[in-house]
Structure 1
């Protein structure tokens, strides 16, 4: 295996901006979806707006290390830290950096990038420009003719209908749809990845070389699943998500308040479809209760069906083991759950199991090897022979 993407030191960084582990490219967080940048056909140049500590860099280049990547952040200290970190720990990963305001950089580079990844929010919330249609016009103008933008929108968890207003994800999607006719959306717990224009399976290609010689077995399979999720991501159309009717929450405090306001509805939905007298805590701790509630919610087409994948994975990211059984349940019930709702299975249930396995902050789960074997078969079944190692 080519070691360019891996550090020989025991490196783990975990902040609100980035999670980085020297022994893996993908860590089970939303920036993993930025790997779509390196899987889009004809991508030669890419830009990351909002760098953090560089958690998205290796993901963006995983499909094609030859992409000319530019990092842009208005915090000179973060730019310097990321440059030093990669020079020391990942010296074979190439990029250029610029300390600049995102909007100014876009306006100074018209028609420059095949892909722009946008990751612009902080510990306190969203900058105002992300909800401004003018910003998205600037993004489009900085793209090449067939370029795409990939956006990380943080906010409400996927089991709480984050595209239903008022929510930051709805507000970001609405602003983007004022510029593009359509966009794809990929859920990841409290984040939604938007891609505009919307993806089709033909837009995504295999990695440019034999990624199995460049990536670890686990990272290679994760990259394959990201490609599969991108190829099957649902599409939002202009005019298809409705008006908010009220301002979206954009500060962390306001977003959390909206989440807490919606939470009782989730509890009622889950407990009402588990066994009689079951409470929410029991529905998260007992497989048979989770199974009963999930099946009924899937049959109803309810977003609440993602409660178990999202909560199990969120707990794992915090090192909590109370839902350690989740991956075993998924593997045991793989074909039945997939038959109930194939899109939910790939976009949420399977993806969050892989996120649990990829986090460097949790346990080594006893079901991991089985999960990867079944994922390999899933990718082969989807026609991704290059990913099914």
Structure 2
């Protein structure tokens, strides 16, 4: 009987050891994306090994082993990178395709989001409201700030010197990336969706997910325009002198405002969805291009109907001449069309140096 009991105990211990060894190599699925080709993340039961598998082909894309246990795993929005945080508060940013490690840094809080910006910028936000902006190329930290709540959105100025950080409590924070100077803190009442800066970066239009847009003066810390009940913004342009703003929505509505006067100059619906909007160099004309290949040209100094130009390809390049009298419409594989901005008649010949590129200063 004693021999039987000893044998049973020995057998039980062996089974436990084997099961423990087996569990160490088993994988626990911690996340699954049912969209094709989004990764399946599998974490070992001892939480030291992470495997990333293609959810369609079941191909192993990446295997990561850490010294301490993995606390949380987050993928970037495009599923090209994975952020791994360990219980020792270090995190690694790894390219899923190549396995290249971009960052390995210490972080004292639980990471709530990872947002990738232009070029090599990535911002890591914590649940406590701390946000860190890094370069994935150098690992250098450009910005460390404390926000009013957890980060959920990041937008950048066109020259990547100012960052707009949106929080889950509806607050937006603006910072200068390189000086870390706080520029603006405003409450929008909802999570922000987008932001657009004026040409001189002294104003910013912030759109919330509830269809409300706010135009703020950054130096004056002042609300300039408050627009509600808008459809999603499709196109926003400031005039060259930054005195006017034109807004095109996904529901064909086009609104033009004189910012300093707070005056609405135009409220129309384009024939089809708005594709693009341009100001003339003298800020007296605006051009509205729609997806139905039509162009409307408004002269703001005249109380007359707009000129309508037909047959404009969606991929055409449209430029105003520097004296505001002529439009150049160029399409791939076709000769440029020249249009008189006063009469709508076609002209010839075409002289490229005569026209103002939209990105060129006037």
The TM-score with structure 2 as length reference comes to 0.28
Larger RCO, structure (CA 8 Å, separation 6 or more): 1
TM-score by length of 1: 0.26
Query: Which structure has greater helix proportion?
Result: 1
